[in-house]
Amino acid sequence: MDALGFEHALGVITPSGNLVVERITTRLLDRFPTVSAHFSRIGVVGERDPFPDSYDLDGMLTAARLLSHAKPDVILWNGSKGGSIGFGHDADLKRRIEDATGITATTSSLALLEAVARLGTRRIALVTPYAAAYQQRIVARMAEEGITVIAESHLGLTDNLSYASVPAERILAQIETVARAAPDAVLTWCTNYAGALVAAEAERRHGLPVLDATTLPLWHALRLVGRDTGPAAPQWGRLFALA
């Protein structure tokens, strides 16, 4: 424990046009008063992605190296892009960050694979703010990992800043729609979209686990530093109660 009473630090990389990650992270870590979060950003703004099928690895590694100066215990990419370009890109990104910094890394996509393995499920419903074509890319990438999307809901949005403006009641309505298909779990997949805020309420309404792209890597990072994540489950969902 340091002079300020902290035991662990998490380094978080987030897209530059993202309003949700820092807000969710700081609220969630209220449950873990000896864990701090420190942020770095990469350029992702508007509707056009200059790297539609890959990561800006120079930008990512620059952000990771800057975070490494503070010597966090874990560096996490809190971004859902791996779900559309392929989970192998996230595995490669993890290796590159660890090689460049010597610090354990994780991502939203890699945390998702860990969570569905622990849940023992491969049948999910997918809820996002995205346009139809992008949604179908995600469905295809999930299938490559053996995850079957049996129902989906998307809003047709394309500007990444607009995702943060989707109200909680709209997300709950999306989850209600897909829950009728009786998936094993619901996935809200976009880290600039406030699915995390409604996960626990949706679970109470529908009796299904609700996983969220923003909280998944935080859950995984907390586990990697040996924290019991159970205290967060009542507010943030049963993901945090997983053994």
pLDDT tens-digit series, residues 113-132: 999 999 999 999 999 999 99
Report pLDDT digits (tens) over 76-105: 999 999 999 999 999 999 999 999 999 999
pTM: 0.96
Give pLDDT, residue 113: 98
Q: How far is CA 80 from the centre of its chain?
A: 6
Which of 159, 139, 157 is closest to 149 using CA atoms? Answer: 139
The neighbouring-strand residues paired with 188 are 127, 212
Q: How far is CA 53 from the centre of its chain?
A: 19
DSSP helix, strand, coil percent of the chain (3-state; round to 5):
50, 20, 35
Give pLDDT, residue 134: 96
d(CA 140, CA 132): 12
Residue ranges per structural domain of the chain: 8-111+214-241, 118-211
Q: Domain spanning 8-111+214-241 has what CATH number?
A: 3.40.50.12500
Answer yes or no: same fold for 8-111+214-241 and 118-211: yes
Domain 118-211 class?
alpha beta
Which of 45, 95, 53, 54 is closest to 75 using CA atoms? Answer: 95
Give pLDDT, residue 184: 97
Give pLDDT, residue 125: 98
* Token digits of residue 202: 């949706």
d(CA 84, CA 139): 8
d(CA 55, CA 86): 11
* Token digits of residue 144: 């490559």
The neighbouring-strand residues paired with 124 are 149, 185
137-195-178 Cα angle (round to 5)? 65
Residue type, 217: P
**Residue 119, CB-side half-sphere exposure with 13 Å CA sphere:** 24
Q: Which residues of the chain have pLDDT under 70?
A: 46-47
Give pLDDT, residue 47: 67
d(CA 155, CA 139): 15
